Amino acid sequence: MTDRVFGQPVKRVEDRRMLTGGGQYLDDLGHDALQIAVVRSPYAHARVRDIDVTDALDVDGLVAVYTYEDLIGPMAEPLPLLIPHPALTHGRTQYALANGEVNYAGEAIAMVVASDRYTAEDAAARIVVDYEPLPDVVGVAAARTATHLVHEDVPGNVGANLVQEFGDARAAIQVAPHRLELDLSIERSASTPLEGRGTLARWDEESHRLRVWSSTQTSTGLRAALAAKLELDLVDVEVITPDVGGGFGVKIVHPWPEDLIAAWACRRLRRPVKFTEDRREHFISAAHERGQLHHIEVGFDDEGRVLGLDVRFWHDHGAYTPYGLIVPIITSTQLLGPYKPANYRVEFDSLYTNTVLVTPYRGAGRPQAAFAMERTMDAIAAALGRDRVQVREVNFIQPAEMPYDNHMTFQDGRPLIYDSGDFPATMAKLKKLVGWDEFEGVRTAAHAEGRTVGIGLGCYVEGTGVGPYEGGHVHIETSGKVKVATGLTTQGQGHATVFAQIVADELGVPVEDVEVVTGDTRRFGYAVGTFASRSAVMSGSAIALAARAAKAKALRVAADALEANPDDMEIVNGKVKVKGSPGQEIALGTVAVLSNPLRYAFDKASRSATQFTVGDSGKPPVAEDDEPGLEGRDYYSPPRSTFANGMHAAIVETDPETAEVRILRYCVVHDCGPMINPMIVEGQIHGGVAQGVGGALYERMHYDEHGQLLNASFMDFLMPYVTEVPDGIEIDHLETPTPLNPLGIKGLGEAGVIPVSAVLAAAIEDAEGIPIRSMPISPSDLWELRRAHRDTATEGND
């Protein structure tokens, strides 16, 4: 067992349970619970004049109906603005139940609690709400024009305006040899996990405690929110995260109205209450992301070196801003990618619209950023008639320049300093993988067959592992089994496996002896959550440190028992040994027994730790600076984020008649530092790329001008099936470790999705010879572009 499991494609320990139907997701729990159904606004913007529940009261099985009027104290206050920012001068959040006004179609107005969901929906359907419709503000253009306002007291619909810059971009552009302007747009998509949101709440009147299960990315966040809203002490609230059927960002934003009502109602009713979100509700009342418009001005020299970059963008944040400015701040900073423009200025407005709120979705502002920067690079190359790779290369930050200070403030309020990466090497790998230099031959051969193909590429740098901290607890049982807990949650990333790999190596135990629990506040109360590609970096590091603490103690206790020097000892396969002295060893479980001085022997093993058996009678059984038990607890809190990076390339074929786009090849080179489990790394990349393809070619939120989401179902929201994703994603890795954490690792959860729209836009543009400035693009869109392009060309000839 001296082989390191870190870096091995260890099979996932969670799989067997999930493969045999033993997974436990939120709605698999609480079969005895009452169910919630929600009355939601059909209007995007309206005043609620009256709510008549009379008809609902006849429904057999109805237990309660709640409207805003029932709420008191903190429950009647707006939901928290989770991440305040000085630039967010006009932050607004919704109420748990609408207080007189609704600002998006789907906003909760009343909640029904009934014996089951069928009955709850029967009752909800009978509640009559009288609305006074107000003018709708939908889309960035309408928000900017501000003919109408979403919130009466927010002038211009502007929630925030933020400028960051270094140097003098505008002046640099003025004097640059070449200049370009681009207008770009990216539409909305959404996380859309296969499992929606959900909350189950139980109130124990005898112990005066609230226990909540939630399909969440942050159990500690929800716990704190519930305690505050329900005026309970934190110790009286427990939040448990069962298996979670995907998150991708949307489950980080708590409290949702339904969380609060479920918990509040279960306490009032003294019965368990559950909310299980259905698919339609997920579309109209969870959260979306991505919608931004960019105006870019860039000045560059003859080689394509960017001398000045001035980016103005408008971010549609929906009706409320519970998650602050995280998404546009990430866009504005991560836009820089692997490049070092001499001067940079970025300014954004974060705008209110009468649509579902916007909070991070995997990538969180980076797909827009990559789209803006990579389209700019391609435009520079086109303007100069230079190779797209070469233009990027002259702009790359070089490895010798690391750590590289970008002179910006990142989403965590800390300096944007790249810690590691070798961008030229990553590019060299990508060129080789996709066959960049041989592509003209491919194109010619395709043309000969009457086929149209194109190639595109895109680069990104991703700040991962943002703070403030995560913690880990490693507890060694007297059986020798190791129990690990960390506070952040799991939605399919295989934490139970990768954290076990880390602990197995640190402690010297078989990986199958390590059991990991995540997202259970009973086991670990201090945590932030799972987002921003931070779990491996943050909890992985914390757990490694905790395991080191446990190991140090194990060696100390064993050294005492074996009368050896701890420095001469090691743990191999669960046994603490004196190096080079075969036979001088003690099982880790026994060390655990010895670590806890006992008065009572509960079993055979513990006899050896009772008071007449061990210990120096002249010393306290537990030393002054020690604790009983064989465990370690530690936290990891980095000074700033660590920056992973990657580059993707794709070859596409476009149908000359139908304008359908087919991805012939998709290649990824990624640098997340040392990989804990390459199988899981590749799985994360696969999933990210598929989501990226969805966002580039299929998915969008079709709002009409009245704020109605026209495609609020899987029938019309076109999440890709297998038939829409590339058949094969080719992956290569570069592993440049970060100096910022004990394992040298960088995050990767979001990586796959980030550059896909940029890459596919570039490839389609290359195939078609038509500038692609807006994504996603459907065959109909491409066909219309062709037509417009042809018309323009014809006019030009006239």
Site for other proteins in 735-774 (CB under 8 A): 752
Candidate list 444, 704, 791, 793; residue touching other proteins; CB under 8 A: 704
Closest distance to other proteins from the beta carbon of 198 (Å) = 11
Tokens coding 785 = 């572009």
Q: Please state, in angstroms and rounded to a whole number, the distance separating the CA atoms of residues 1 and 508.
A: 7
Scan residues 177-216 and list those touching other proteins (CB under 8 A): 192-195
DSSP letter at 682? H
Backbone phi, psi, residue 198, to 5° = -175, 150
Tokens coding 58 = 């006849």
Scan residues 594-633 and list those touching other proteins (CB under 8 A): none
Strand order in the sheet with 34-40: 62-67, 108-114, 34-40, 273-276, 198-204, 209-214, 237-240
Closest distance to other proteins from the beta carbon of 718 (Å) = 5
Query: How many angstroms separate the Cα of 502 from the Cα of each of 543, 648, 679?
Result: 8, 29, 15
* Beta carbon nearer to other proteins, 356 or 594: 356
Candidate list 8, 99, 161, 778; residue touching other proteins; CB under 8 A: 778
* Beta carbon nearer to other proteins, 18 or 234: 18
Scan residues 48-107 and list those touching other proteins (CB under 8 A): 60, 105
- The 472-491 site mask, x for binding other proteins (CB under 8 A), equals -------------------x
Strand order in the sheet with 452-464: 452-464, 642-654, 661-671, 730-733
Binding of residue 512 to other proteins (CB under 8 A) = no
Scan residues 260-289 and list those touching other proteins (CB under 8 A): 278-280, 283-284
Binding of residue 711 to other proteins (CB under 8 A) = yes
Tokens coding 259 = 């969380």
Q: Report the SS3 class of residue 675.
A: coil
Q: Please state, in angstroms and rounded to a whole number, the distance separating the CA atoms of residues 314 and 292.
A: 6
Scan residues 411-470 and list those touching other proteins (CB under 8 A): none
Which helix (H) or strand (E) segment holds residue 64: the answer is: strand 62-67
* Beta carbon nearer to other proteins, 424 or 720: 720
Strand order in the sheet with 292-300: 158-166, 344-351, 306-316, 292-300, 178-186, 774-775
* Beta carbon nearer to other proteins, 480 or 683: 683
Candidate list 173, 709, 758, 761; residue touching other proteins; CB under 8 A: 709
423-426: long-range contacts, CB 8 A cutoff, minimum separation 24: 423/338, 423/396, 423/397, 423/398, 423/399, 423/459, 423/645, 424/393, 424/396, 424/398, 424/399, 425/399, 425/734, 426/459, 426/645, 426/646, 426/647, 426/669, 426/671, 426/734
The secondary structure of the chain in percent helix, strand, coil, rounded to multiples of 5, reads 35, 25, 40
Candidate list 145, 613, 713, 792; residue touching other proteins; CB under 8 A: 713
Scan residues 10-39 and list those touching other proteins (CB under 8 A): 11-12, 14-16, 18-25, 27-28, 31
Alpha-carbon dihedral angle through residues 499, 502, 508, 512, given to the nearest 10 degrees: 30
Closest distance to other proteins from the beta carbon of 716 (Å) = 7
Ramachandran assignment for 713, one of left (phi > 0), alpha (psi -120 to 50 degrees), beta (any other)? beta
State the residue for tokens 């087919």. Answer: 662
Candidate list 183, 512, 627, 716; residue touching other proteins; CB under 8 A: 716
* Beta carbon nearer to other proteins, 10 or 325: 10
Strand order in the sheet with 46-52: 101-102, 46-52, 128-133
Candidate list 715, 795, 796, 797; residue touching other proteins; CB under 8 A: 715
- The 116-135 site mask, x for binding other proteins (CB under 8 A), equals xxx--xx--xx-x--x-x--
Pairing of strands 209-214, 158-166: unpaired
Which helix (H) or strand (E) segment holds residue 199: the answer is: strand 198-204
Closest distance to other proteins from the beta carbon of 645 (Å) = 20
DSSP letter at 78? P
Q: Please state, in angstroms and rounded to a whole number, the distance separating the CA atoms of residues 272 and 31.
A: 9
Closest distance to other proteins from the beta carbon of 711 (Å) = 6
Closest distance to other proteins from the beta carbon of 383 (Å) = 31
Binding of residue 406 to other proteins (CB under 8 A) = no
Binding of residue 790 to other proteins (CB under 8 A) = no
Closest distance to other proteins from the beta carbon of 475 (Å) = 26
Q: Please state, in angstroms and rounded to a whole number, the distance separating the CA atoms of residues 93 and 623.
A: 52
Binding of residue 367 to other proteins (CB under 8 A) = no
**Size of site (CB under 8 A) for other proteins:** 96
Q: Tell me which stretch binds other proteins (CB under 8 A): 201-209, 562-570, 700-708, 767-775.
A: 700-708
Candidate list 6, 95, 248, 256; residue touching other proteins; CB under 8 A: 248
| Cβ atoms of 86 and 59 closer than 8 Å | no
DSSP letters, 223-276, are: HHHHHHHHT--GGGEEEE--B-S--TTGGGS---HHHHHHHHHHHHHTS-EEEE
Candidate list 146, 180, 605, 719; residue touching other proteins; CB under 8 A: 719
Q: Tell me which stretch binds other proteins (CB under 8 A): 40-48, 557-565, 598-606, 614-622.
A: 40-48
Tokens coding 20 = 């045999």
* Beta carbon nearer to other proteins, 123 or 569: 123
Q: Tell me which stretch binds other proteins (CB under 8 A): 110-118, 309-317, 392-400, 601-609.
A: 110-118
Closest distance to other proteins from the beta carbon of 50 (Å) = 13
Scan residues 132-171 and list those touching other proteins (CB under 8 A): 133, 136
Strand-pairing partners, residue 237, are: 210
Q: Tell me which stretch binds other proteins (CB under 8 A): 80-88, 325-333, 481-489, 722-730.
A: 722-730
Binding of residue 687 to other proteins (CB under 8 A) = yes
Closest distance to other proteins from the beta carbon of 600 (Å) = 38
* Beta carbon nearer to other proteins, 652 or 729: 729
Binding of residue 728 to other proteins (CB under 8 A) = yes
Closest CA to 209 of 229, 191, 230: 230
| Cβ atoms of 480 and 588 closer than 8 Å | yes
Scan residues 647-676 and list those touching other proteins (CB under 8 A): 657-660
Q: How many CA atoms lie within 13 A of 534 on its CB side?
A: 30
* Beta carbon nearer to other proteins, 104 or 396: 104
* Beta carbon nearer to other proteins, 14 or 258: 14
Contacts of 268 (CB under 8 A, 6+ apart): 64
Give just the sign of the alpha carbon dihedral 490, 493, 496, 498. negative
* Beta carbon nearer to other proteins, 22 or 620: 22
Closest distance to other proteins from the beta carbon of 652 (Å) = 17
Scan residues 280-339 and list those touching other proteins (CB under 8 A): 280, 283-284
Candidate list 493, 501, 541, 738; residue touching other proteins; CB under 8 A: 493
